[in-house]
Each structure stands twice: as C-alpha cells, then as structure tokens.
Amino acid sequence: MRGKADSDLVRRQNRRVVLEALRFDGPAPRVELGRKTGLSPATITSITMQLIQDGAVIELDDIASLSDGAKRGRPTVLLGLNPDAAFTVAVKISIGMLEFALADFAGIIRERVEVPIATYEMLPEIFSRRLVSETQRFIVSTRVDLNQIAQINVAAQGVADTRSGLIAWSPAFKERGVPVVGPLEEAFNIPCTLANDANMIAEGLIARRKLDFSGTTAAVFLGYGIGMGLVIDGAVYHGATGAGAEFGHMNHVPSGALCRCGRAGCLEAYASDYGILRSAKNLPDNTPPPPHAVDSQVMAELEAAARGGDKDAIAAFQKAGRAIGFGLARMIALLNPDRIVLAGAGTRALDLIEPSLRAAIDEGVVAELRNNLKIETLPVGKDMIIGGTIDAGMRRLDSEVYAIGPALPVEAKKELLA
C-alpha cells in the first residue's frame, strides 16, 4: 500500500509540474516540456496523454521546424492548456463597487464587468443578497454553462476571514461580519473562496514572475487604504484566518489620528488618501475619515500643489512616506525580505513620498538588514487584484483537481475543491 501511495504522489507531482510549466511559460512541445521540468521523455509522454484524456491539455496546430535551414524537420506538436476545461469567476469587492471577471482555464479573461453599488450603508444580509443576484446576472451574461464554472473566488478590502467566509471588517461597509462564501455556495453549488485583496496582488506577482518572488517579498498597496500581501519562501502568507500582514492597521502613533477602522494611530490614518488629505488641510486628527475613497482628481490636485511648492501638501506626503517607511522598517527587522513592491494609485505620488520613506527605513533598521533589499513599483492602472485572484484560482485547480486525474467527472472535481 505504501508503494502505491508513493507512486500516486509522484504521479500527482509530475502532473502538477507539467501544468505549471504550461501555465507559466505557455504552449510547448513535449521535448521542451521535458527540458523545463526535468522529466524523462517517457514520463512526459505518459503524463501529457493523461492530461489530454482529462481535458486539461490539448494538442495545438502542428508547427514545422527547420532542422538545418536546408531541409524540413519532423513536425512538432505544441501542447497547451485547454481553455474550455474549466472557468473561474473572480469577484472584487471594494468601496462602492463590485467587479466581476470570467477567466478560462488558460487564465484569459473572457468577460469583465464593473457594477457601482452603495456598499457602505448596506446591512450585511442585504449586501449578501445583492452579491448573489449580481453574480447570477454576470454569469448569465457570459453565456457559459454553470456546470463549466469550477469556482468563484472573491477578493475584498479589509479583513477577510477565510475560515468563516465573512468579511470581518472592511472600509467598504459600515457594518462588520458580512457573509460572502456561504450565500454564494448555497446559491450556485460552486466552491467559493474569500481572500484579502492585497494578498491577491501577491498571488499575481508569484504567477507572473515566479523566480523573482521565490523568496520573501512584501507587496504594499497604497491608495484609499494601505494593505500588504506577504510572500514567504515563494508562497503567500495568509495567517490563521486570512488576515495576515494587516500592514495598514499596525499602530504608528499611539492614540494618534483616527483611522477608518475606528481605532486611533494606525499607519493607514497617516498614509492613505484620506490621511494625506486630512493632514494637508491641517484638520484635527480626530476628523472622521470619509466613507468612500477620495476622488482621484482631488488627490491629483493635491499632488500638483505639493510639486508646485505648497508647504502643507509637501509635509502631508512626507508624513505619509515616513509612516510607511517606519512600518516597513519593522517588517524588515522581523522578516529580512528580498523585495518590497509598491502598487496602487498612491504610487502616482511616489516622487513626493519615496525620499521620506527611504529615510525612515534607514533610520528604523540597521544597514545590514536592508543593504540588499530591492524596492520596485508596479505600473499605475495595472489591476493586480483581479489578475491575482484568477491566478490563485488556476493554481488551485492545477494542484487540487487536474493534478489528481485522470479523467474525473465535473461533479467529482467540484467536490475536491469544496
């Protein structure tokens, strides 16, 4: 029995490795798959045959290769992921907005829709019903059979409790404890996951640049709030309940400025859009944050004022950079990361924030812990949250469904994900 179990484990691992190679690097002939994975030609032939039977992989059009420029070699068959093997619905919940995307098994987004919705004043049960109805409307609009959808993956601002399936707290809602997973699974009989949106940025980084993010990386979201997705040894760290790395709600100043979460002195209260605006206007620290993101035009005007020499605006951005920098210094001292990646609309003001951010890191942690640290910025406007939510779902299908095979019926695959 032990021998069979070991053999099954090796087979599952080999299938996952082949799927991973096709997902990260794109279509390839069997010979190239062997080179990338280190598997023998016989193993590649066996594994790819099983994956084709299981519907996860397809043979693409033949390509003719030239052996020496003078004569044609044997036609080479490319293998690729079967886009129609399964579909994933990704949902992003943010202040005043629901965003839906349908992705095929190759990770290509087929449909995408934004639905403005006044989330903040909604009671939890009212929002849950609205979430179900809008998800139903989106799925119908895609014209994809419900049986082809393998999972619904939700990313939300704030504290997403992965165990209970609730949004424990979010700036998108006045109330706490908003049910997400239960209502969706009950309505559609499809496995559903819930995660923090910054964690999904980290998932996207792993999917797109696996080698760069094989160590320890902090992905920091700057904008309407301050979030962090933490990668440790190449895997996203979610914590016991999915609320790990709540960077924005670390205390920065005891009994300090009022945060949107209701506490005083959080890092976010100084470095988010509302924190910067409050500081620039010299408003009292106990001025309540707005229940919505600050208008992008307002922030653009504030940035222009700072670049034009407005002392209050300059000081507000410097204060934000200093708060972020000291928070990062604490994280660096604890985890000694390889990289820090900055993302989100707040990076538009990076020229105003970065000098004080780096100065705070230098002041807050010894040089030996930061000398080899890389800090980079993702392009503004690139939505890594939806993309990362899809990437995480696809890797889950690879490892928990199609790596098991061969040929499982749709209902059996869904049971594995449940």
* CATH number assigned to the domain comprising residue 42: 1.10.10.10
Q: What is the mean pLDDT of the chain?
A: 90
Alpha helices of 294-408 — where are they, by DSSP H? 296-307, 311-335, 350-364, 384-397
**Number of CB atoms found within 10 A of residue 38's CB:** 8
Tell me: the pLDDT tens digits for 337-357? 999 999 999 999 999 999 999
Which domain does 274 fall in, by range?
212-377
CA distance 332 to 296: 31
Give domain status of residue 201, yes or no. Answer: no
Q: Same structural domain for residues 179 and 224?
A: no
- Do 336 and 225 lie in one domain? The reply is yes
Same domain, 223 and 372: yes
Above 80 in pLDDT, residue 412? Answer: no
The pLDDT tens digits of the residues spanning 48-71 come to 999 999 999 999 875 444 344 434
Please name the residue that has the structure tokens 């969706």.
184
Same domain, residue pair 239 and 97: no
| Residue 117 belongs to domain with CATH number | 3.30.420.40
- Find the helix packing angle between 311-335 and 273-280, rounded to 10°: 140
Q: Band of the pLDDT at 381, cuts 50, 70, 90? A: low
Q: Are residues 182 and 285 in the same domain?
A: no
Split into its structural domains, the chain has a count of 3
DSSP string, 130-185: HHHHHHHHHHHHHT--GGGEEEEEEEESSEEETTTTEEEE-TT-SSS-EE-HHHHH
Q: How far apart are CA 318 and CA 242, in angstroms?
A: 31
Quote the DSSP letter at residue 96. T
Mean pLDDT computed over 195-211: 87
